[in-house]
Structure 1
Amino acid sequence: MLLRITRAILHGIYVSGIQLIYMPSYLMYMLLLRPLTWFAVTTPLYWRFEGYIHSVMTYMFATWAVFTGHTIVEVGDDLRPCCTGDRVILMSNHQSAMDIPIIAAVMAGANKGVVKRYYSWIMHKMFFYTHFGVVGQIRGDFFIETGKEVRELQPKLLAQYVKDVFLERGRRWLVVFPEGGFLHKRLKDSQQYAKKHDLPILEHTTLPRLGAMKALFSAMPRDNSWVIDTTIAYPQGKCLDLHHMTFAWHKPCSTIVHHRKYHLSEIPTDDANLTQWLYDRYAEKDKLLKDYYATGELPASENGRAPFYLTTKPWLAGILAVVQIASLYFVIYLIKFPFSFL
């Protein structure tokens, strides 16, 4: 028990430390690189450097899941063909805050190449003024609002974002949670809507929000783009929460991340068929989760691909954290230095 408590305290300190240095260090680097945006010829270089810096942050967030003894196993389709420069919309189910570091671990995986430098998030507007949101504003993530009064406006803004920001800045992967919220918060409303409109009544996922997804599919270039249908499956359906992410109190376990890829050119474009396609994907997700929770077995891979175990290097994460803290201290010193002569 003493060892477990000590481990929880140390992990809590580590996670809190990352939270504290995340935004200041990122802002510091972006401020130093800002002059590159003054000239059109050097602006792409600015975003290239930003990708490297953000990839470090992605790697450190990925360690939140792995340092707990948590095992993340990728199964399903091989995503390497999607990692060579094509555009990707990764749509995942959403059960808890732990989904975020798990997706970060997917992005940081050794089998994804440079993807961790070139991806963006679609996140709820509520995160706009958090430290994640401040970084997202700078790097060009999209903050989506919900509600009847903005239902028609948001898809238009999202489509414009893809053209003006995502494609313009050379981003490749776009992460979205089409359900629009955590499973436990949306399940009841989703089931009531399904009953009213004679749609599949889902138990382990909720029906996706259609407007945003249709806008994404229409705005993304169809000739070199993919849609990756990602399903996160926690053991016995008991999703890990913020408490586990921070203190790693629960026993280590394995989470399955199942992928199925579709070329965007194969997906219907007309409204009725695209709607049905999206609903079919979430019905498949629901069945996959139901079967996994009942049997505890990995979903069979149709292409015979062996499961891929996502790992991180603790020593590398430690070095990166020290470098972040040291560089932040150095810049503060440079700012204070001229005032020492006054």
Structure 2
Amino acid sequence: MIFLRSLPRTFRYLEWIFITVHFGVWLSRPEDSLPTLLGFYGILFVLGWLFPCERPYWQRFSYIVLGLTITVWARRVGIDLGLFLFFYISKSYFLLNRRMTIIITAFTAMPWVISEYFAEVERAKSSLEIASVSGVNSDNSLNIMISTLAVYTAASFFVIMFNSMLIAEQKSRQRVEELSEQVETLAATLERTRIAREIHDSLGHTLTDLDIQLAVAQQLRFRNLEQAFQAVDTAKILAGQCIEDVSQALARMRQSDFDLNQALTALMEQVRHNSALQVEWQVNLPKLSVHKSYQIYCIVKEGMVNVQKHAHASQVNFCGRLTSEGIVLNIKDNGVGFDPEKLHIGFGIQGMVERVQLLGGKLELKTALAQGTQIQVRLPL
């Protein structure tokens, strides 16, 4: 994650800025020993540079403990580097985990309160606020400890909750990015599937027939030129039909005012004209979106092509109507039928099933040997 990779640099700059500001404040009123102060600065500077985010767990744990110890000890000798305490509590959330951060925060509370108390006693002595050697009376001691503990608890709670929200936000962003990549992959897959369907619907069957005719012409060219030429002529017609099918498919895909009833009627007339089938149809469908209309058209077309290729039927009936439950499509032929248990779902049937599922509908196939086949599709509005 980019955020985690940028953490070391962020913490490093914050710590170095704080060291610079702290040293500037010290120059305005030099109360602490300069060598001691520079020693703590040097240690914290090095620790800021060494951010062990990819180190073993024990090294990360030792790093946090060392940073907290240095900060507490600095306060014990009178150098206030309290902000580093919360830097390292924050670091522990990223380097360790939430549970260990809470444990470390709890165990650090008492040493920090004691160090703050002794630092306050030393400050009181140096400013001559009290004359007693014992420093601060018992009431003041209790007040100092309670107030220090309250501030420490509130600040630690804020740091932990802030880091928790930060991590949650980053995980959400990462999840969004992953989902976005999945959507792009799915979109590409759906587009490939759609193109495959279009190629199959427009060219698949015609190209198969074209290949057969060319193979016949190739075999007969030295034995029967007349039949070979007839096969070539048929192949030429099929090639023209391929071009026409592609043009019609592209026109339908681009058409913004696609009339489903008109397109289905034209399809039935084309099937009746190009085959020996007796075709009867009834079409009364409502106006739908272009996408849904085109999918329904392709479902019906694939069903009619299957009847022409496999049913060996003399009659086919198609009915498309609107019911109270949605759209119902029926394609029924009087062909040879087949055994449903031995059904091999070719790309044609598979394409129909995929399109029906895409529209949230159901496809039911009823058939038996020598009893014809009925395909019923139910689609919600």
**Which structure is higher in strand share?**
1
| TM-score range for the pair, normalised by the shorter chain length | under 0.3
Which structure has the bigger radius of gyration? Answer: 2
**Which structure is higher in helix share?**
2
Structure having greater relative contact order (Cα 8 Å, sep ≥ 6): 1
Q: TM-score, normalised by structure 2?
A: 0.19
